[in-house]
Structure 1
Amino acid sequence: MAANGTVAAGGSPPQRDDPPAPAPAGPPSLVGCTAAAAAEPPPIATGGAAAAPEDLPGPAVGGGAAAKATAAAAAAGPPVPPAGGVDPRHAVIAGAVRTILGCLDAEPSRAGLAKTPDRVAAALLYCTAGGGTTPRGIAGDALWAEPCAAAAGAPAADGGGGGGGGGLVLVRSIRLYSMCEHHLLPFFGTATVAYLPGAAGVLVGLSKLARLADAAARSLQVQERLTARVADDVAAVTGAAGVAVLVDATHLCMAARGVAQGGATTVTTAWRGAFVGNAALRAEFLTLARP
């Protein structure tokens, strides 16, 4: 991890499996799969067109590669459905799921599985919809300057943030649900997000911190990148003097398979701005982050 982030885990240190090797060229073999599994499903309507992404401003503090990756992802966004509201990805995903079911189950056309391809397609599109949002779009007009926050966020005598007796704004126990990009299995847990208002004293609505974390989680992920993205997004919309994020999550790719460590959790942190060089400020955050 970079100098401004750390990774820890409960119990024995978790070892993430290496990503699978690239698939060989050419169409995959369907030996052992039923012919019905390869049938094309009808297109399914999933709602209106996604909102057009906005320009993402550069982060006020920290940044680097994670910020650039966040900006690129926000600029690209997911494919926009046509005017009729049918997402073309739904039919493709459902067809692929039907093929997978034919390989996993002896009766993929039975009643219990008949609608599974459509359900899985809808669920995957929902769980990965975070790429169609931007931090500024999520924050909207829930930003304002507060004089008392500006005073609290003034630099302290030691050069770090937190002059005037503190000034942290912190929301803890934000529920997160995401998907491991190595196994397409869920990981879930909580995030604690804090920022130290900058010289302008800009505050953001508290619910927006939770929405920023949720949007960052809704894509194919590794936890380290998720943590960094939340920190960069909060910095981008608040102009904060410092941002701190802690994510504590359980990974099913580790708990339900492989090493099968159901009780292990993974903790990641990201520090931006004043938190990077101020041990007392980091300690205050970690103390407040405890449930």
Structure 2
Amino acid sequence: MDAIIKQHPALKAVDAGRKVSREEAEEAVRTLISYLGDCPNREGLKDTPKRVVNAYAELFAGYKQDPGAVLERVFEDVGGYQDIVLVQDIPFYSHCEHHMVPFHGKVHAAYYPTDGVVGLSKIGRVVDVFARRLQTQENLTTQIAEAIDDVLKPRGVAVLVEAEHMCMAMRGIKKSGVLTTTTRFTGLFAEDPAEQVRFISLVRGGQR
């Protein structure tokens, strides 16, 4: 099957304006350090702007990645397999778009194939594409499900995300260990509550 790769409008980078230079990005870090009350020129912080920009290039690499390209290759020779495909306990690290503070957790994703299956590692890669952007958990959940749905055209997609948010643990009400759960269902999973129950039962039954 030749996969048709089409970037969903919601997946495009939000800002198509002037590209900020590396020098400007490093200067912004220096400004923040000064704002916090420290000296950006002292020995321990002198190279911090450079390190922060390097780290951000890795932490937010998802803005330069296309989930459609990740899911492009589909394997048709699977013995006619048509049942559920579940990849669970996919770890992720992301950053809250409200405070730019990390949140992390696990993604569980399932789909009913139509004309073949995608390599199992590709589901994890799709999670990383969206997690490595400024996010909300709700949006992350939807984007993962819609990318799988748009590209693979399966009979249904189910995504469950569980995460702990540092903006809740480190600041504000300062409650650590609190998990937030979000779900998104399409196709068979959205139409049949029994399929949702099956998916959640498989996820919960497989957890240790």
TM-score, L = length of structure 1:
0.64
Instruction: Look up the equivalent residue of 1:117 and give its one-letter code.
Output: P
2:35 maps to amino acid: C
Q: 1:268 aligns with which of 178, 182, 188?
A: 182
Aligned to 1:36: none
Deviation at 1:108, TM superposition (A): 2.7
Q: Which amino acid aligns with 1:131?
A: Y
Residue 213 in structure 1 maps to residue 127 in structure 2: yes
Cα distance, 1:78 vs structure 2: 7.4
Tell whether the 8 Å contact from 2:5 to 2:151 is kept in structure 1 after alignment.
no
The residue type paired with residue 116 of structure 1 is: T
Which digits, 9 at most, give the CA deviation of each residue in 1:239-261, with x for residues without a partner? 10000001111111111000111
Counterpart residue number, 1:96: 28
- The answer as to 2:131 corresponding to 1:190 is no
Q: Is the 8 A contact 1:228 1:270 kept in 2?
A: yes
Which of 33, 37, 45 is the equivalent residue of 1:113?
A: 45
> Alpha-carbon deviation of 1:215?
0.4
* Aligned partner of residue 93 in structure 1, secondary structure: helix
Name 2:64's counterpart in structure 1.
132
Q: Distance in 1 between matches of 2:68 and 2:39?
A: 48
- Over aligned residue pairs, what C-alpha RMSD do you find? 2.2
Indicate the structure with greater strand content: 2
Task: Summarize the Cα distance change of 1:79–1:204 in structure 2 as closer, same or farther, 3 Å threshold.
Answer: farther
Q: Deviations over 1:119-159 (max 9, x none)?
A: 11122222222122222211243x1223422xx3xxxxxxx
CA contact (8 A) 1:217 1:226 kept: yes
Aligned to 1:283: 197
CA offsets 1:204-226 (integer angstroms, 9 cap, x no match): 00000000111011111111000
Larger relative contact order, structure 1 or 2 (CA cutoff 8 Å, min sep 6): 1
Partner-residue secondary structure (3-state), 2:149? helix
SS of the equivalent of 2:189 reads coil
| SS of residue in 2 equivalent to 1:148 | coil
> In structure 1, how many angstroms separate the alpha carbons of the residues matched to 2:84 and 2:135?
28
Partners of 2:16 and 2:121 lie apart in 1 by 24
Q: What's 2:92 paired with? A: 176
Deviations 1:63-120 (A, max 9, x none): xxxx5312xx16x78789xxxxxx9542222110101111213333221111111111
Unaligned runs of 5+ in 2: none
Instruction: Verify the 8 A CA contact 1:135 1:236 in the aligned structure 2.
Output: no
Kindly tell me: are residues 147 and 250 of structure 1, through their superposed partners in 2, closer, same or farther at Cα, counting changes over 3 Å?
same
Q: Superposition pairs for residues 1-291 of structure 1, below 5 Å?
A: 56=6, 68-70=9-11, 73=12, 89-141=21-73, 143-145=74-76, 146-149=78-81, 152=82, 167-198=83-114, 200=115, 202-290=116-204, 291=207
What is aligned with 1:84? none
| Alpha carbons 1:56, 1:134 under 8 Å: kept | no
TM-score by length of structure 2 reads: 0.88
Partner of 1:14: none
- Residues 168, 174 of structure 2: 8 Å contact kept: yes
CA offset at residue 266 of structure 1? 0.8
Cα deviation 1:22-57 (Å, max 9, x = unaligned): xxxxxxxxxxxxxxxxxxxxxxxxxxxxxxxx9526
Percent of residue pairs identical: 37
